[in-house]
Amino acid sequence: MIKLKKLLFLFTGVLLTMTCTINKKTDKKSDPWSLELEKGGCLDVCQAFTITITSNGKFKYNGKFKVKHLGLKTGTLNSEEQIKINRLLNSINWQDIKSGYGSNANSLQLKVLEYSAKTIKKKVSYSGSEPQQIKNLEHYIDTMINKDEL
């Protein structure tokens, strides 16, 4: 009987230790961040909008030109969108990202991406030759704002 109690006590201790470790890993991922993508119009042919997304999934969108949703809109991303945005953000090595890519030619669309987290703040202006990870993030955001329900 005493052996069984000791074994049960040991098992409970191991289980509690594992639970604490899992919670620490989860807490690390929940560091707050915010992301803003602004796309300017170009010769009246490009979409123009601004969207701000925060780590809790809240977004604020302002569609300005040639977009499916014109005007202000706020809401919360669904869990699948939040997971995808987090994966895309985590794929970017923000320390290696330059502050500008491409040229400032008038015919190209200027895009500004601002990322702010606990350990880094980065503002990137680009109109071409940006890293693939930024292209992937922008493409996913474009897909989200072009849905019927934003």
Q: Specify the residue for token string 């289980």.
A: 15
Contact 39, 52 (CB under 8 A): no
Does 20 or 109 have the greater pLDDT score?
Answer: 109
**Residue 106 pLDDT:** 64
Q: Dihedral of the CA atoms 19, 20, 25, 29 (nearest 10)? A: 100
**Residue 43 pLDDT:** 76
**Residue 6 pLDDT:** 55
Does the pLDDT of residue 117 top 80, yes or no?
yes
Does the pLDDT of residue 75 top 90, yes or no?
yes
Average pLDDT over residues 53-82: 96
